[in-house]
Amino acid sequence: MFVDQVVIYVESGHGGRGCVSFRREKYVPRGGPDGGDGGRGGDVVLVADDGLSTLAELRYRKRYVASAGAHGAGARKSGRSEPALEVRVPAGTLVRDNETGEPVADLTRDGERLVVAHGGKGGLGNQHFATPTRQAPRYAQPGLPGESRWLRLELKLLADVGLVGFPNAGKSTLISRVSSARPKVADYPFTTLVPNLGVVTWDGFRSFVVADIPGLIEGAHAGKGLGDRFLRHVERTRYLVLLADATALAAPRPAEALDVLRRELAAYDPGLARRPYCVAATKTDAVDPQALEEARRWAADQGVPFWAVSSVSGDGIRDLVYHLGGTVERLKAEAPPPAPAPAAAGTEDDVWGEEA
């Protein structure tokens, strides 16, 4: 099951209490205070994992609570500090505060870590509060409480190329032709209900990742046909392929369909309107010459590359793949590396003030 948005509750562990203890041993005069410190509570950490492609594992488990630190003991024994509770999420997960909607971080690289709830610091034992005028302090600090919050996780697919088109424009068939992805293919609209990823190998050993974005329709940017959920997965792509059905039964016609796709992309995110793209006329095995020429003329007017392909016969597929592979490599060379995700704010590392 493909799940691209979940809300979870995270709570870090409370710090352990410091201990009030005095050393009392035979033949040891003036033993003094020897209460140990409490251990630190466990953090809750999100870890990006390239091996995951969906947030389905987090759909049914909503609460992630780390263990509390152990309490201190006599003889200057400190309590155990608990390890972090790691929650693995797919690379490409955007983390937001669920109450404010503010972004917390964007986990885009495998192994990237984000502390979303810091464990409470353990309290100090009474050994720390002995002074020349107060040699037998009878108090210690309680542990600091952990942090808790609700987070909204949004997955945005990490792909080099995004296939965008109306329902039944041939996106799923094309991705199944150029990669090992096997999306559902049928002759009715909205066959594809979730995005699909495929790895395309070209020129022997080179590769890039392509995403099949479920069919968009007019009004998609406002949520029509779940378009706003689908468009989210186009945001990270480096290059777009606008697909137009070149058969006589195409509805809407290629020029109209391409105009709508461009408007929807711009309305959802103005940055997508500036994303480099090309046009591919599909289903040329059953082509309508007038529709094909209409798509070709539209691409020429926009000054973008045009390809005519058939996923059934394979015509034009190799040339399109090599164009996409070369373009992706060029764009990767031009683009700076992504900035590291911001660290979560609000640590509990400051030393407490002494009790009055």
* DSSP for residue 28: B
pLDDT greater at residue 50 or residue 63 = 63
Pair type for strands 5-11 and 93-97: unpaired
- Kindly report the three-state secondary structure assignment for every residue of 34-68: CCCCCCCCCCEEEEEECCCCCCHHHCCCCEEECCC
Q: Is 2 a residue whose pLDDT tops 80?
A: no
Per-residue model confidence (pLDDT) at position 156: 80
Instruction: Name the nearest CA neighbour of 168 among 250, 288, 230.
Output: 250
- What is the CB-side half-sphere exposure of residue 257 using CA atoms within 13 A? 27
Considering the domain 1-155, what is its CATH architecture? Distorted Sandwich (2.70)
Where in the chain are all domains bearing CATH 3.40.50.300? 161-334
Which pair of tokens denotes residue 65? 């609570």
User: How much is the pLDDT for 170?
Assistant: 81
Q: Which residues contact 81 (CB under 8 A, 6 or more apart)?
A: 39, 40, 41, 42, 69, 70, 119, 122
pLDDT value of residue 64: 95
Name the E strands within 98-175.
103-107, 113-117, 148-155, 161-165
Exposure b/e, 298-318, CB count within 10 A at least 16 = b: bbeeeeebbbbbbbeeeebbe
All CATH 2.70.210.12 domain ranges in the chain, comma separated: 1-155
pLDDT digits (tens, 9 = 90+) for 72-114: 999 899 999 999 999 999 888 889 999 998 999 889 888 999 9
The per-residue pLDDT for 185 is: 52
Query: Which CATH class for the 161-334 domain?
Result: alpha beta
Tell me what percent of the chain is helix, strand and coil, each rounded to the nearest 5. 25, 25, 50
Which tens digit of pLDDT belongs to each residue from 128-156?
999 888 888 999 999 999 999 999 998 88
* Entry pTM: 0.69
pLDDT, residue 273, reads 84
What is the residue-averaged pLDDT of the chain? Answer: 82
CB 217 within 8 A of CB 167: yes
Task: Say which residue the tokens 């480096």 belong to.
Answer: 238
Q: CA 32, CA 60: separation in Å to the nearest integer?
A: 52
188 versus 56: the higher-pLDDT residue is 56
167-223 residue pLDDT tens: 877 888 888 888 876 655 545 454 555 667 778 888 878 888 888 877 565 544 444
Q: Which of 30-39, 188-197, 243-252, 268-277 has the lowest mean pLDDT?
A: 188-197
Residue 341's pLDDT band (cuts 50, 70, 90): very low
What local confidence, expressed as pLDDT, does residue 208 receive?
86
Stated length of the chain: 356
